[in-house]
Amino acid sequence: MQIKPGLKLASGVSPAQFVVIRGAGEIELTHGGAPVTIEAPVDSAASGLAGEVLVGKRYSDDSGDLELLCVKAGPGTLAADGIELTVKAAKALPASD
């Protein structure tokens, strides 16, 4: 799938939805083992999905070149080109001594 920042994506196996924050090019995105689409998400989740994506969390690859924002939660793990994406940690704020 050709992705670019601002693209809205939906899971094919759960009600989860995502927005591309960073990344461009041809990337195979999957959620719960099924391809992520540009179409509307399904109403109910498939049974037996491992993991869960959480609303408001940013998911990125190890290199930081790809970043997705979860705008609607759902069961299943998010992966790009077969590699699971992880929750991006918040930046530490400087101390205000």
- The domain segmentation of the chain, as residue ranges, is 2-43+50-87
Burial 34-44, CB ≥16 within 10 A → b, else e: eebeeeebbee
* pLDDT, tens digit, 9 for 90 and up, residues 8-25: 999 888 889 999 999 888
Which residue's structure tokens are 């099924």?
A: 34
Q: Where are the alpha helices (DSSP H) in 1-97?
A: none
* Phi, psi (degrees; rounded to nearest 5) at 63: -80, -20
Q: Which of 10-14, 30-34, 43-47, 83-87 has the lowest mean pLDDT?
A: 43-47
